[in-house]
Amino acid sequence: MQPDGYLAAYDALVRADPPAAQARLAGWLRTDWRDLFAELRADRPVLAAPSFTLVTRHADVVHVLSRPASFQVSAYRPAMEAALGAPIMLTRDGTPMNWREKGLMQADGVLVQAERKLMARADSLVVLADSSKFRASASFVLCPLSEVDILVTDDGIGREDLAFLKGHEIEVIVAE
C-alpha cells in the first residue's frame, strides 16, 4: 500500500516522469493488485494509462467487453504484454490460442445462468451449433468443452476445428 494511495503516487509520477509511472503501475499490477484495484474501484474505476486502460467495476467491464466493435483489446496487445511481461488472454480474442480455451460461449449473462441450471440436470450435453459459431466470440463462458458429449453441426466446419473437437473426445455429427 502506498502512504498517500496508489492514485496520488501514480498521478505525481505521471507529471514528473510518464515512462516511470507506466513501469510503476505495471509493478503494482504484478505485486499489489488487490489493494490497487480496491482503490481504483472506489476512486477512479476507469484508469486510462498511456499504453492501456484499466476497467475495475464489473458492470463497466461487461459493458466494455460486450462491444467488441467499439473496444477491440487486440489493438492493445503489444503495449499490455510489454508492460506486464506476459501474454494477456483477453488480447488474444479471435485467435486459435484463445477460442479453444473458452469453450461454449454465450452473449447473454441471463441465458448463461438459465442454461447452466438446465445443464446441471442433464445426463449428457448435446450441442447443436452451425459451423459459423466455431470462431465467434461472446462475453460469457457457458461451459468448458470438456463438458460437451456430442456436437451436431453442418458440413461447413473446418478440418482443423473438427480434428480439435474429436481430439477432445467430443462426438461430432456433421449434418449434410
Cell of 138: 461472446
Single out the residue of 107, 33, 101 nearest to residue 67, CA to CA: 107
Share of the chain above pLDDT 70, in %: 82
If pLDDT is split at 50, 70 and 90, which confidence band does 82 have? confident
Choice among 27-31, 104-108, 144-148, 164-168 with the minimum mean pLDDT: 104-108
- Which pLDDT belongs to residue 42? 94
* Fold of the CATH domain 96-175: Rossmann fold (3.40.50)
57-61, 124-128, 158-162 — most confident range: 124-128
Domain(s) labelled CATH 3.40.50 in the chain stretch across: 96-175
Residue 2 has pLDDT above 80, yes or no: no
